Amino acid sequence: MIDINNKSKIDIMDKRVSIIGLGKSGTEAAKLANHLGAKVFGSDLKSDKKINFNSMELMENHIPSETGIHTDKIYEADLWVISPGIPKNSGIIQKANKYKIPIVGEIEFASWFAKYPIVAVTGSNGKTTSTHILSAICQTENFKGIMGGNMGTPFSKIVLNDLKRPNEKRIYILEISSFQMEFITHFSPFIAVYTNISPDHLDRHKTMKEYLKMKMEMVKNLNSSGYIVYNYDDMTLKKIFQNEYKNTIPFSIKKKNTLFYIKDYKIHNQDKTTLNIDKLDISGDHNISNLLAAATASHMLGVSNEEIFKIIATFKGVEHRLEFVAEINQVKFINDSKATNIESVIVAIKSFSKPIILILGGLNKGADFRLLLPHIKSSHVRDIVSFGDAGGQINTALGDAVRSVKVTDLSSAVKIAHSMAAPGDIILLSPGCASFDAFEDFEERGKHFKQIIKNLETK
Protein backbone atom coordinates (compact mmCIF):
# COMPACT_ATOMS: atom_id res chain seq x y z
CA MET A 1 0.00 0.00 0.00
CA ILE A 2 1.02 3.62 -0.51
CA ASP A 3 1.48 5.63 2.69
CA ILE A 4 -0.57 8.70 1.77
CA ASN A 5 -0.10 10.29 5.18
CA ASN A 6 3.51 11.26 4.43
CA LYS A 7 3.49 13.37 1.28
CA SER A 8 7.30 13.42 0.96
CA LYS A 9 7.32 9.62 0.65
CA ILE A 10 4.49 9.25 -1.87
CA ASP A 11 5.74 7.43 -4.97
CA ILE A 12 3.34 5.67 -7.34
CA MET A 13 5.97 4.19 -9.67
CA ASP A 14 5.03 0.53 -10.28
CA LYS A 15 2.19 0.79 -7.73
CA ARG A 16 -1.28 -0.57 -8.50
CA VAL A 17 -3.73 2.34 -8.81
CA SER A 18 -7.45 1.74 -9.27
CA ILE A 19 -9.41 4.61 -10.78
CA ILE A 20 -13.03 4.34 -9.61
CA GLY A 21 -15.28 6.28 -11.98
CA LEU A 22 -14.41 7.00 -15.60
CA GLY A 23 -15.94 10.40 -16.11
CA LYS A 24 -13.74 13.31 -17.18
CA SER A 25 -11.78 13.58 -13.93
CA GLY A 26 -11.27 9.82 -13.54
CA THR A 27 -10.05 9.43 -17.12
CA GLU A 28 -7.51 12.23 -16.72
CA ALA A 29 -6.37 10.89 -13.33
CA ALA A 30 -5.74 7.53 -15.00
CA LYS A 31 -3.58 9.20 -17.65
CA LEU A 32 -1.62 11.13 -15.02
CA ALA A 33 -1.01 7.99 -12.95
CA ASN A 34 0.04 6.09 -16.06
CA HIS A 35 2.48 8.86 -17.03
CA LEU A 36 4.03 8.64 -13.56
CA GLY A 37 4.67 4.90 -13.92
CA ALA A 38 1.77 3.38 -12.01
CA LYS A 39 0.00 0.18 -12.99
CA VAL A 40 -3.44 1.65 -13.62
CA PHE A 41 -6.84 -0.03 -13.78
CA GLY A 42 -10.07 1.88 -14.41
CA SER A 43 -13.57 0.82 -13.44
CA ASP A 44 -17.07 2.32 -13.75
CA LEU A 45 -20.46 0.81 -12.94
CA LYS A 46 -22.01 2.75 -15.81
CA SER A 47 -21.59 1.76 -19.43
CA ASP A 48 -23.19 4.64 -21.31
CA LYS A 49 -21.81 6.19 -24.47
CA LYS A 50 -19.49 8.67 -22.74
CA ILE A 51 -18.09 6.15 -20.25
CA ASN A 52 -17.42 3.63 -23.01
CA PHE A 53 -15.73 6.35 -25.08
CA ASN A 54 -13.49 7.21 -22.12
CA SER A 55 -12.71 3.53 -21.62
CA MET A 56 -11.64 3.25 -25.26
CA GLU A 57 -9.47 6.34 -24.84
CA LEU A 58 -7.71 4.69 -21.90
CA MET A 59 -7.18 1.57 -24.00
CA GLU A 60 -5.39 3.72 -26.59
CA ASN A 61 -3.08 4.77 -23.74
CA HIS A 62 -2.55 1.09 -22.85
CA ILE A 63 -4.61 1.43 -19.65
CA PRO A 64 -6.99 -1.50 -18.97
CA SER A 65 -10.49 -0.76 -17.68
CA GLU A 66 -13.94 -2.22 -17.19
CA THR A 67 -17.40 -0.69 -17.58
CA GLY A 68 -20.84 -1.78 -16.39
CA ILE A 69 -19.36 -3.60 -13.41
CA HIS A 70 -16.93 -3.38 -10.49
CA THR A 71 -15.05 -6.70 -10.38
CA ASP A 72 -12.80 -7.76 -7.50
CA LYS A 73 -9.82 -6.55 -9.53
CA ILE A 74 -10.42 -3.03 -8.21
CA TYR A 75 -9.43 -4.24 -4.73
CA GLU A 76 -6.05 -5.48 -5.97
CA ALA A 77 -4.66 -2.00 -5.47
CA ASP A 78 -2.16 0.08 -3.50
CA LEU A 79 -4.28 3.20 -4.01
CA TRP A 80 -7.75 4.24 -5.10
CA VAL A 81 -8.50 7.50 -6.87
CA ILE A 82 -12.23 8.02 -6.48
CA SER A 83 -14.74 9.96 -8.57
CA PRO A 84 -16.47 12.83 -6.71
CA GLY A 85 -19.76 11.23 -7.71
CA ILE A 86 -19.18 8.27 -5.34
CA PRO A 87 -20.13 9.12 -1.72
CA LYS A 88 -17.85 8.14 1.15
CA ASN A 89 -20.52 5.89 2.72
CA SER A 90 -21.06 3.75 -0.41
CA GLY A 91 -20.63 -0.03 -0.29
CA ILE A 92 -17.45 -0.22 -2.34
CA ILE A 93 -15.80 2.43 -0.16
CA GLN A 94 -16.64 0.45 2.96
CA LYS A 95 -15.22 -2.71 1.39
CA ALA A 96 -12.03 -0.90 0.32
CA ASN A 97 -11.65 0.33 3.89
CA LYS A 98 -11.77 -3.28 5.12
CA TYR A 99 -8.88 -4.04 2.75
CA LYS A 100 -7.12 -0.91 4.14
CA ILE A 101 -6.76 0.55 0.63
CA PRO A 102 -5.82 4.26 0.77
CA ILE A 103 -8.49 6.38 -0.95
CA VAL A 104 -8.10 9.90 -2.34
CA GLY A 105 -10.11 12.13 -4.64
CA GLU A 106 -8.88 13.31 -8.03
CA ILE A 107 -8.20 16.85 -6.77
CA GLU A 108 -6.05 15.48 -3.92
CA PHE A 109 -4.24 13.06 -6.25
CA ALA A 110 -3.39 15.72 -8.85
CA SER A 111 -2.22 18.13 -6.14
CA TRP A 112 0.57 15.71 -5.14
CA PHE A 113 2.28 16.41 -8.45
CA ALA A 114 1.34 20.08 -8.93
CA LYS A 115 4.40 22.35 -8.95
CA TYR A 116 2.72 25.76 -8.88
CA PRO A 117 0.46 27.76 -6.50
CA ILE A 118 -3.22 26.88 -6.20
CA VAL A 119 -6.11 29.28 -5.74
CA ALA A 120 -9.15 27.23 -4.70
CA VAL A 121 -12.66 28.71 -4.91
CA THR A 122 -15.68 27.20 -3.19
CA GLY A 123 -19.11 28.21 -1.95
CA SER A 124 -22.76 27.35 -2.46
CA ASN A 125 -23.16 30.00 -5.18
CA GLY A 126 -20.89 32.30 -7.15
CA LYS A 127 -17.85 30.03 -7.27
CA THR A 128 -18.01 29.49 -11.04
CA THR A 129 -18.30 33.21 -11.80
CA SER A 130 -15.57 34.08 -9.28
CA THR A 131 -13.29 31.42 -10.78
CA HIS A 132 -13.81 32.76 -14.29
CA ILE A 133 -13.08 36.34 -13.20
CA LEU A 134 -9.95 35.24 -11.35
CA SER A 135 -8.72 33.34 -14.37
CA ALA A 136 -9.26 36.38 -16.60
CA ILE A 137 -7.39 38.65 -14.17
CA CYS A 138 -4.46 36.24 -13.88
CA GLN A 139 -3.42 36.57 -17.54
CA THR A 140 -0.60 39.07 -17.12
CA GLU A 141 3.08 39.37 -17.87
CA ASN A 142 3.84 37.65 -14.56
CA PHE A 143 0.94 35.20 -14.25
CA LYS A 144 -0.56 32.58 -16.52
CA GLY A 145 -3.62 31.34 -14.70
CA ILE A 146 -5.39 28.20 -15.82
CA MET A 147 -8.89 27.28 -14.72
CA GLY A 148 -10.21 23.83 -13.84
CA GLY A 149 -11.50 21.55 -11.13
CA ASN A 150 -15.24 21.16 -10.60
CA MET A 151 -16.04 22.69 -13.97
CA GLY A 152 -14.11 22.68 -17.21
CA THR A 153 -10.75 20.90 -17.30
CA PRO A 154 -9.94 18.24 -14.68
CA PHE A 155 -7.00 19.18 -12.46
CA SER A 156 -5.16 15.97 -13.40
CA LYS A 157 -5.11 16.98 -17.06
CA ILE A 158 -3.75 20.43 -16.23
CA VAL A 159 -1.01 18.97 -13.99
CA LEU A 160 -0.02 16.37 -16.61
CA ASN A 161 0.28 19.05 -19.29
CA ASP A 162 2.48 21.14 -16.97
CA LEU A 163 4.69 18.15 -16.15
CA LYS A 164 5.30 17.76 -19.88
CA ARG A 165 5.63 21.50 -20.60
CA PRO A 166 6.45 23.46 -17.40
CA ASN A 167 5.44 27.12 -17.13
CA GLU A 168 6.96 28.99 -14.19
CA LYS A 169 4.27 31.69 -14.43
CA ARG A 170 1.48 29.17 -13.84
CA ILE A 171 -1.27 29.72 -11.27
CA TYR A 172 -3.87 26.99 -10.80
CA ILE A 173 -7.37 28.42 -10.31
CA LEU A 174 -9.70 25.64 -9.21
CA GLU A 175 -13.42 25.59 -8.57
CA ILE A 176 -13.94 23.15 -5.71
CA SER A 177 -17.16 21.35 -4.75
CA SER A 178 -18.01 19.77 -1.41
CA PHE A 179 -17.94 16.34 -3.09
CA GLN A 180 -14.30 16.84 -4.06
CA MET A 181 -13.32 17.44 -0.43
CA GLU A 182 -14.56 14.09 0.92
CA PHE A 183 -11.19 12.38 0.37
CA ILE A 184 -8.56 15.01 1.19
CA THR A 185 -5.20 14.34 2.86
CA HIS A 186 -2.66 16.99 1.83
CA PHE A 187 -4.48 19.36 -0.56
CA SER A 188 -3.44 22.88 0.43
CA PRO A 189 -4.16 25.97 -1.67
CA PHE A 190 -2.07 29.11 -1.41
CA ILE A 191 -5.31 31.10 -1.42
CA ALA A 192 -8.71 29.66 -0.46
CA VAL A 193 -11.74 31.68 -1.54
CA TYR A 194 -15.19 31.23 0.06
CA THR A 195 -18.04 32.99 -1.76
CA ASN A 196 -20.98 32.09 0.55
CA ILE A 197 -22.71 29.21 2.34
CA SER A 198 -26.36 28.15 2.00
CA PRO A 199 -28.19 24.76 2.04
CA ASP A 200 -27.05 22.59 -0.86
CA HIS A 201 -26.34 18.92 -1.66
CA LEU A 202 -28.29 17.79 1.40
CA ASP A 203 -29.27 14.62 -0.48
CA ARG A 204 -25.56 13.69 -0.27
CA HIS A 205 -24.40 15.27 2.99
CA LYS A 206 -27.73 14.89 4.88
CA THR A 207 -27.12 17.83 7.25
CA MET A 208 -25.83 21.39 6.99
CA LYS A 209 -23.23 20.53 9.64
CA GLU A 210 -21.74 17.83 7.41
CA TYR A 211 -21.97 20.02 4.29
CA LEU A 212 -20.13 22.83 6.07
CA LYS A 213 -17.54 20.36 7.40
CA MET A 214 -16.74 19.28 3.81
CA LYS A 215 -16.38 22.93 2.74
CA MET A 216 -13.91 23.54 5.58
CA GLU A 217 -11.79 20.57 4.49
CA MET A 218 -10.40 22.88 1.81
CA VAL A 219 -8.39 24.82 4.43
CA LYS A 220 -7.49 22.11 6.93
CA ASN A 221 -3.93 21.96 5.53
CA LEU A 222 -3.48 25.68 4.90
CA ASN A 223 0.07 26.62 5.88
CA SER A 224 1.32 29.83 7.50
CA SER A 225 1.98 31.53 4.16
CA GLY A 226 -1.52 30.88 2.82
CA TYR A 227 -4.61 33.11 2.88
CA ILE A 228 -8.34 32.68 3.28
CA VAL A 229 -10.44 35.18 1.32
CA TYR A 230 -14.03 35.09 2.56
CA ASN A 231 -17.37 36.85 2.20
CA TYR A 232 -17.79 39.04 5.27
CA ASP A 233 -21.47 39.55 4.39
CA ASP A 234 -22.19 35.83 4.85
CA MET A 235 -22.99 35.30 8.53
CA THR A 236 -21.87 31.66 8.56
CA LEU A 237 -18.48 32.45 7.03
CA LYS A 238 -18.03 35.55 9.17
CA LYS A 239 -18.58 33.54 12.35
CA ILE A 240 -16.11 30.83 11.32
CA PHE A 241 -13.30 32.90 9.92
CA GLN A 242 -13.37 35.75 12.43
CA ASN A 243 -12.79 33.39 15.32
CA GLU A 244 -11.12 30.17 14.19
CA TYR A 245 -8.56 30.94 11.48
CA LYS A 246 -5.54 33.17 10.85
CA ASN A 247 -4.52 34.99 7.64
CA THR A 248 -8.13 35.79 6.74
CA ILE A 249 -8.92 38.56 4.25
CA PRO A 250 -12.59 39.62 4.03
CA PHE A 251 -14.42 41.04 1.04
CA SER A 252 -17.77 42.77 1.29
CA ILE A 253 -20.29 44.92 -0.52
CA LYS A 254 -21.16 46.55 2.85
CA LYS A 255 -17.93 46.79 4.86
CA LYS A 256 -15.64 49.74 4.04
CA ASN A 257 -12.24 48.80 5.52
CA THR A 258 -11.48 46.08 2.96
CA LEU A 259 -9.04 45.96 0.04
CA PHE A 260 -11.90 46.79 -2.34
CA TYR A 261 -15.11 48.43 -1.15
CA ILE A 262 -18.34 50.00 -2.38
CA LYS A 263 -19.09 53.69 -1.89
CA ASP A 264 -21.35 56.04 -3.87
CA TYR A 265 -22.19 53.19 -6.27
CA LYS A 266 -18.51 52.79 -7.18
CA ILE A 267 -15.90 50.12 -6.48
CA HIS A 268 -12.89 51.68 -4.73
CA ASN A 269 -9.42 50.26 -4.12
CA GLN A 270 -6.55 51.26 -1.85
CA ASP A 271 -4.91 53.20 -4.70
CA LYS A 272 -7.93 55.55 -4.63
CA THR A 273 -8.96 54.35 -8.08
CA THR A 274 -12.70 53.93 -8.68
CA LEU A 275 -14.91 51.99 -11.07
CA ASN A 276 -18.55 52.94 -11.71
CA ILE A 277 -20.80 49.97 -11.00
CA ASP A 278 -23.43 51.09 -13.52
CA LYS A 279 -20.83 50.79 -16.30
CA LEU A 280 -20.06 47.12 -15.58
CA ASP A 281 -21.22 44.44 -18.02
CA ILE A 282 -22.71 42.31 -15.23
CA SER A 283 -25.20 43.48 -12.62
CA GLY A 284 -26.67 42.51 -9.27
CA ASP A 285 -25.22 42.44 -5.75
CA HIS A 286 -24.30 38.75 -6.15
CA ASN A 287 -22.12 39.54 -9.17
CA ILE A 288 -20.52 42.56 -7.48
CA SER A 289 -19.67 40.23 -4.58
CA ASN A 290 -18.10 37.76 -7.03
CA LEU A 291 -16.04 40.56 -8.56
CA LEU A 292 -14.80 41.62 -5.13
CA ALA A 293 -13.89 38.03 -4.24
CA ALA A 294 -11.79 37.69 -7.40
CA ALA A 295 -10.26 41.14 -7.02
CA THR A 296 -9.23 40.44 -3.42
CA ALA A 297 -7.68 37.05 -4.22
CA SER A 298 -5.78 38.38 -7.25
CA HIS A 299 -4.50 41.32 -5.19
CA MET A 300 -3.09 38.83 -2.65
CA LEU A 301 -1.35 37.04 -5.53
CA GLY A 302 0.35 40.29 -6.47
CA VAL A 303 -1.67 41.39 -9.49
CA SER A 304 -1.74 45.18 -9.74
CA ASN A 305 -4.96 47.06 -9.00
CA GLU A 306 -4.75 48.57 -12.48
CA GLU A 307 -4.81 45.09 -14.07
CA ILE A 308 -7.62 43.99 -11.77
CA PHE A 309 -9.87 46.94 -12.61
CA LYS A 310 -9.13 46.61 -16.33
CA ILE A 311 -10.51 43.06 -16.35
CA ILE A 312 -13.53 43.45 -14.07
CA ALA A 313 -14.61 46.55 -16.01
CA THR A 314 -15.15 44.40 -19.12
CA PHE A 315 -16.09 41.01 -17.66
CA LYS A 316 -19.27 39.82 -19.40
CA GLY A 317 -20.37 36.93 -17.20
CA VAL A 318 -20.32 33.16 -17.48
CA GLU A 319 -22.12 30.78 -19.81
CA HIS A 320 -25.17 29.16 -18.16
CA ARG A 321 -25.33 31.84 -15.43
CA LEU A 322 -28.13 34.35 -16.17
CA GLU A 323 -27.00 34.16 -19.79
CA PHE A 324 -29.11 35.98 -22.37
CA VAL A 325 -29.84 33.51 -25.17
CA ALA A 326 -32.27 35.13 -27.59
CA GLU A 327 -35.35 37.32 -27.99
CA ILE A 328 -38.24 35.85 -30.00
CA ASN A 329 -41.36 37.95 -30.61
CA GLN A 330 -40.28 40.30 -27.78
CA VAL A 331 -39.90 37.40 -25.33
CA LYS A 332 -36.41 37.05 -23.81
CA PHE A 333 -34.92 33.63 -23.02
CA ILE A 334 -32.41 33.45 -20.14
CA ASN A 335 -30.19 30.43 -19.45
CA ASP A 336 -29.42 30.00 -15.75
CA SER A 337 -28.76 26.25 -15.86
CA LYS A 338 -25.96 26.73 -13.33
CA ALA A 339 -28.64 27.49 -10.70
CA THR A 340 -28.74 24.09 -8.99
CA ASN A 341 -30.00 25.22 -5.57
CA ILE A 342 -32.72 27.40 -4.06
CA GLU A 343 -30.46 30.37 -3.27
CA SER A 344 -29.41 30.59 -6.92
CA VAL A 345 -33.04 30.66 -8.04
CA ILE A 346 -33.79 33.45 -5.56
CA VAL A 347 -30.89 35.50 -6.93
CA ALA A 348 -32.11 34.87 -10.49
CA ILE A 349 -35.75 35.90 -10.00
CA LYS A 350 -34.66 39.05 -8.18
CA SER A 351 -32.56 40.06 -11.19
CA PHE A 352 -35.52 40.95 -13.43
CA SER A 353 -38.27 43.56 -13.28
CA LYS A 354 -40.51 42.11 -16.01
CA PRO A 355 -42.96 39.17 -15.85
CA ILE A 356 -41.13 35.85 -15.53
CA ILE A 357 -42.11 32.38 -16.62
CA LEU A 358 -39.81 30.31 -14.42
CA ILE A 359 -38.68 26.84 -15.50
CA LEU A 360 -37.78 24.68 -12.47
CA GLY A 361 -36.81 21.03 -12.27
CA GLY A 362 -34.32 18.24 -12.59
CA LEU A 363 -33.00 16.04 -9.78
CA ASN A 364 -33.76 17.37 -6.30
CA LYS A 365 -30.67 17.58 -4.05
CA GLY A 366 -32.70 17.64 -0.84
CA ALA A 367 -34.02 21.19 -1.24
CA ASP A 368 -37.28 22.40 0.29
CA PHE A 369 -39.02 24.28 -2.53
CA ARG A 370 -41.40 25.88 -0.04
CA LEU A 371 -38.52 28.24 0.74
CA LEU A 372 -39.16 29.82 -2.66
CA LEU A 373 -42.72 30.87 -1.79
CA PRO A 374 -42.07 34.28 -0.17
CA HIS A 375 -39.58 35.19 -2.92
CA ILE A 376 -41.94 34.17 -5.71
CA LYS A 377 -44.74 36.22 -4.14
CA SER A 378 -42.50 39.30 -3.88
CA SER A 379 -40.97 38.94 -7.34
CA HIS A 380 -42.21 39.17 -10.92
CA VAL A 381 -42.72 35.40 -11.33
CA ARG A 382 -46.11 34.96 -12.99
CA ASP A 383 -45.98 31.30 -14.06
CA ILE A 384 -43.91 28.22 -13.25
CA VAL A 385 -43.23 25.26 -15.49
CA SER A 386 -41.75 22.26 -13.65
CA PHE A 387 -40.11 19.27 -15.27
CA GLY A 388 -38.04 16.18 -14.63
CA ASP A 389 -37.62 14.02 -11.56
CA ALA A 390 -38.47 16.86 -9.14
CA GLY A 391 -41.42 18.24 -11.12
CA GLY A 392 -44.09 16.73 -8.87
CA GLN A 393 -42.30 17.83 -5.66
CA ILE A 394 -42.09 21.39 -6.98
CA ASN A 395 -45.78 21.54 -7.85
CA THR A 396 -46.76 20.16 -4.45
CA ALA A 397 -44.47 22.54 -2.57
CA LEU A 398 -45.62 25.67 -4.37
CA GLY A 399 -49.31 24.75 -4.38
CA ASP A 400 -51.54 27.47 -5.79
CA ALA A 401 -49.20 30.36 -4.91
CA VAL A 402 -48.62 30.84 -8.61
CA ARG A 403 -49.99 29.29 -11.78
CA SER A 404 -47.91 26.19 -12.51
CA VAL A 405 -47.70 23.45 -15.12
CA LYS A 406 -45.87 20.11 -14.78
CA VAL A 407 -44.31 18.45 -17.83
CA THR A 408 -41.92 15.55 -18.32
CA ASP A 409 -38.75 17.03 -19.79
CA LEU A 410 -36.91 20.26 -20.56
CA SER A 411 -37.96 20.36 -24.23
CA SER A 412 -41.61 20.21 -23.22
CA ALA A 413 -41.01 22.83 -20.52
CA VAL A 414 -39.56 25.34 -22.99
CA LYS A 415 -42.34 24.77 -25.51
CA ILE A 416 -45.15 25.19 -22.96
CA ALA A 417 -43.43 28.28 -21.49
CA HIS A 418 -43.18 29.75 -24.99
CA SER A 419 -46.89 29.17 -25.57
CA MET A 420 -47.72 30.94 -22.26
CA ALA A 421 -45.50 33.98 -22.91
CA ALA A 422 -46.60 37.43 -24.01
CA PRO A 423 -44.47 40.25 -25.48
CA GLY A 424 -42.25 41.70 -22.75
CA ASP A 425 -42.06 38.44 -20.75
CA ILE A 426 -38.91 36.61 -19.70
CA ILE A 427 -38.60 32.83 -19.92
CA LEU A 428 -36.04 31.93 -17.28
CA LEU A 429 -34.45 28.50 -16.94
CA SER A 430 -33.27 28.52 -13.33
CA PRO A 431 -33.83 24.88 -12.35
CA GLY A 432 -32.92 24.84 -8.63
CA CYS A 433 -31.98 21.19 -9.11
CA ALA A 434 -29.13 19.01 -10.28
CA SER A 435 -29.19 17.88 -13.90
CA PHE A 436 -28.37 14.20 -13.45
CA ASP A 437 -31.88 12.87 -14.08
CA ALA A 438 -31.47 13.67 -17.78
CA PHE A 439 -28.07 15.28 -18.43
CA GLU A 440 -24.43 14.70 -17.53
CA ASP A 441 -24.09 18.15 -15.97
CA PHE A 442 -25.56 21.65 -15.92
CA GLU A 443 -23.49 22.59 -18.98
CA GLU A 444 -25.15 19.90 -21.09
CA ARG A 445 -28.57 20.99 -19.78
CA GLY A 446 -27.83 24.64 -20.63
CA LYS A 447 -26.63 23.77 -24.12
CA HIS A 448 -29.75 21.69 -24.70
CA PHE A 449 -31.88 24.65 -23.58
CA LYS A 450 -30.09 26.92 -26.05
CA GLN A 451 -30.51 24.42 -28.86
CA ILE A 452 -34.26 24.22 -28.21
CA ILE A 453 -34.46 28.01 -28.48
CA LYS A 454 -32.37 27.99 -31.65
CA ASN A 455 -34.87 25.55 -33.14
CA LEU A 456 -37.72 27.89 -32.13
CA GLU A 457 -35.98 30.79 -33.90
CA THR A 458 -35.82 28.89 -37.19
CA LYS A 459 -39.52 28.02 -37.23
pLDDT per position as a tens digit, 82-115 = 998 888 888 999 999 999 999 999 999 999 999 9
- Cα separations (Å) of 165 from 31, 108, 115, 161, 170? 16, 21, 12, 6, 11
Quick check: is 393 in a domain?
yes
Closest by Cα among 333, 237, 239, 240 to 289: 237
> Are 87 and 37 within one domain?
yes
177 phi and psi, to 5 degrees?
Answer: -100, 165
227 vs 318: which has the higher pLDDT: 227
> Are 101 and 118 within one domain?
no
Quick check: is 318 in a domain?
no
What would the mean pLDDT of 204-225 be, rounded to a whole number?
89
**Is 80 exceeded by the pLDDT of residue 292?**
yes
Quick check: is 270 in a domain?
yes
> Are 233 and 301 within one domain?
yes
> Are 99 and 147 within one domain?
no
For the chain, percent of residues with pLDDT exceeding 90: 79
Q: Look at residues 105, 128, 160 and tell me which one is the last residue of a structural domain.
A: 105
Quick check: is 2 in a domain?
no
Quick check: is 317 in a domain?
no
DSSP string, 197-261: --S--HHHH-SHHHHHHHHHGGGTT--TT-EEEEETTSHHHHHHHHHS-SSEEEE-SS-SSSSEE
Q: In what order do the strands lie in the sheet with 266-269?
A: 260-263, 266-269, 274-276
When pLDDT is cut at 50, 70 and 90, the band that residue 297 belongs to is: very high
204 vs 68: which has the higher pLDDT: 68
Residue 399 confidence (pLDDT): 83
Look over the chain and give the mean of its residue pLDDT values, rounded to a whole number.
93
Residue 423 confidence (pLDDT): 96
Quick check: is 349 in a domain?
yes
Tell me 139's DSSP state.
Answer: B
> Are 145 and 280 within one domain?
yes
Closest by Cα among 35, 129, 149 to 84: 149
Residue 425 confidence (pLDDT): 96
> Are 327 and 377 within one domain?
yes
Q: How many domains does the chain have?
A: 3
Closest by Cα among 280, 237, 276, 279 to 255: 237
**Is 90 exceeded by the pLDDT of residue 171?**
yes
Q: Look at residues 312, 338, 367 and tell me which one is the last residue of a structural domain.
A: 312
Q: Write out the residue range of the structural domain in which residue 178 sits.
A: 114-312
Tell me 23's DSSP state.
Answer: S
**Is 80 exceeded by the pLDDT of residue 201?**
no
Cβ burial, residue 202 (10 Å; 0-12/13-18/19+)? middle
Cβ neighbours of residue 447 under 8 Å, at least 6 residues apart?
none
Q: In this structure, are strands 274-276 and 266-269 parallel, antiparallel, or unpaired?
A: antiparallel
Residue 225 burial (CB count, 10 A): 8
> Are 119 and 95 within one domain?
no
Quick check: is 209 in a domain?
yes
Residue 89 confidence (pLDDT): 86
